[in-house]
């Protein structure tokens, strides 16, 4: 537990998001806050996802300076492909030039059950906003070193992809976009999203992966002076993606989905691609932590019996529906209110007609 508390500056610094530091100047107040903060930090470490967790950096799945032997044959845990290049400062997947693609792939399959990857990356280039592209992706897949159309990786991949998509293919046609989505449902780019493939699910490039999206968030990551991070955690079949892009050392939630089934023994990798538009896509480090999660006997048994061989997401249809509904709700509310009002007016009119009819007949009876 000590490891989880002391090592991860990011997780600790999340607490400052609560704004406790900004409180009060006087001394006793300050110490009170410190105590409160301490208590919070401690309880958070113990009760992360209600389970005690330890984490260990796994060097064989991590990539960091000085990138010793990266790219040279056989002497490293990482293999370079395409236009990727190593410098002293970064692994540059693509330079800021048209039609490039590059990748770095781990050589060792990962057999950890629960893990967390912290990606230190940088996307920058000369292009103005929306005149840059296309983005980078982080992978945990069965296949490795394949080239293709999904951010430089093959389509119909098997496993997990987390994309930092910097160019809106669909949204570029603003008019089409307005027709299809209400303001609330529009995605603002750059956009971070996750997808799980099973070998026969195609990434819809024209629609920026919308049909297969598990969730995502906007992330203004280009041309920033401070460091930018992506965090991918996979614990007890729960996938969590967070970003730290504001230079505040705070993780911001991006997506969090239970029931994500990923087999063990897949490969980590990072890829990037440029087209007519370009950017430098740099990986500064990939740090993979093994998480040790305590499981009950029953849970262990269940997982033993329920071996995962093909990646999938529980209740994917429901999830899609929720995403669509969430995105639809603005329009839906408008029409619900409109039709309710129309219905109400209709009822009143009918009522009035019936009443006047009845009134007339009654009057006639009196004569």
Interacting residues toward ligand NAG by CB under 6 A:
155-156, 198-202, 310
Nearest CB to ligand NAG, comparing residues 134 and 171:
134
Nearest CB to ligand NAG, comparing residues 182 and 198:
198
Question: Coil, helix or strand for 231?
Answer: strand
What does each C-alpha distance from 79 to 89, 90, 118 come to in angstroms?
Answer: 17, 14, 19
Nearest CB to ligand NAG, comparing residues 91 and 196:
196
Q: Least distance from C-beta 202 to ligand NAG, angstroms?
A: 4
Distance CA 290, CA 16 (A): 25
Nearest CB to ligand NAG, comparing residues 91 and 273:
273
Backbone angles phi, psi at 77, to 5 degrees: -80, -5
Name the CA dihedral angle for 255, 261, 267, 270, rounded to a multiple of 10 degrees.
Answer: -20
Q: Least distance from C-beta 155 to ligand NAG, angstroms?
A: 4
Q: Least distance from C-beta 320 to ligand NAG, angstroms?
A: 10
- Which residues make beta-bridge pairs with 193? 163, 216
Backbone angles phi, psi at 194, to 5 degrees: -120, 150
Nearest CB to ligand NAG, comparing residues 89 and 264:
264
Nearest CB to ligand NAG, comparing residues 201 and 273:
201
Q: Least distance from C-beta 215 to ligand NAG, angstroms?
A: 16
115 CB neighbour count, 10 Å cutoff: 20
Q: Are 222 and 125 in contact (CB under 8 A)?
A: yes
- Which residues make beta-bridge pairs with 78? 106
Q: Least distance from C-beta 245 to ligand NAG, angstroms?
A: 32
- Which residues make beta-bridge pairs with 218? 191
Distance CA 137, CA 103 (A): 9
Q: Least distance from C-beta 158 to ligand NAG, angstroms?
A: 9
């Amino acid at each position: 537990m000590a490891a989880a508390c002391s090592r991860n500056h990011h997780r600790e610094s999340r607490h400052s998001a609560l704004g406790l530091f900004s409180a009060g100047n006087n001394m006793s107040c300050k110490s009170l806050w410190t105590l409160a903060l301490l208590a919070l930090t401690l309880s958070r470490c113990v009760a992360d996802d209600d389970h005690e967790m330890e984490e260990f950096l796994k060097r064989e799945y991590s990539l960091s300076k000085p990138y010793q032997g990266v790219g040279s044959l056989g002497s490293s845990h990482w293999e370079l492909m395409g236009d990727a290049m190593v410098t002293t400062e970064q692994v540059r997947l693509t330079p800021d030039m048209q039609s490039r693609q590059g990748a770095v792939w781990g050589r060792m399959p990962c057999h950890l059950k629960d893990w967390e990857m912290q990606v230190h990356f940088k996307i920058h280039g000369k292009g103005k906003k929306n005149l840059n592209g296309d983005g980078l992706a982080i992978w945990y897949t069965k296949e490795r070193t394949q080239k293709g159309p999904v951010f430089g990786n093959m389509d119909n991949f098997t496993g997990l992809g987390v994309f930092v998509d910097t160019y809106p293919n669909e949204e570029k046609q603003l008019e089409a976009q307005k027709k299809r989505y209400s303001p609330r449902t529009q995605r603002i780019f750059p956009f971070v999203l996750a997808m799980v493939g099973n070998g026969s699910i195609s990434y819809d490039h024209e629609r920026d992966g919308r049909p297969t999206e598990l969730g995502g968030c906007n992330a203004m990551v280009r041309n920033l002076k401070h460091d930018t991070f992506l965090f991918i955690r996979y614990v007890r079949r729960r996938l969590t993606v967070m970003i730290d892009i504001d230079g505040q050392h705070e993780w911001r939630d991006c997506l969090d989905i239970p029931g994500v089934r990923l087999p063990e023994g897949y490969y980590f990798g990072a890829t990037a691609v440029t087209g007519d538009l370009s950017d430098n896509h740099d990986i500064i480090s990939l740090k993979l932590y093994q998480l040790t999660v305590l499981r009950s006997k029953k849970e262990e048994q269940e997982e033993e019996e329920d071996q995962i061989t093909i990646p999938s997401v529980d209740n994917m249809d429901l999830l899609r529906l929720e995403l669509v509904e969430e995105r639809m709700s603005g329009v839906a509310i408008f029409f619900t209110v409109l039709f309710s009002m129309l219905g109400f007016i209709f009822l009143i009119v009918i009522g009035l007609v019936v009443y006047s009819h009845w009134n007339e007949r009654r009057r006639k009876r009196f004569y």
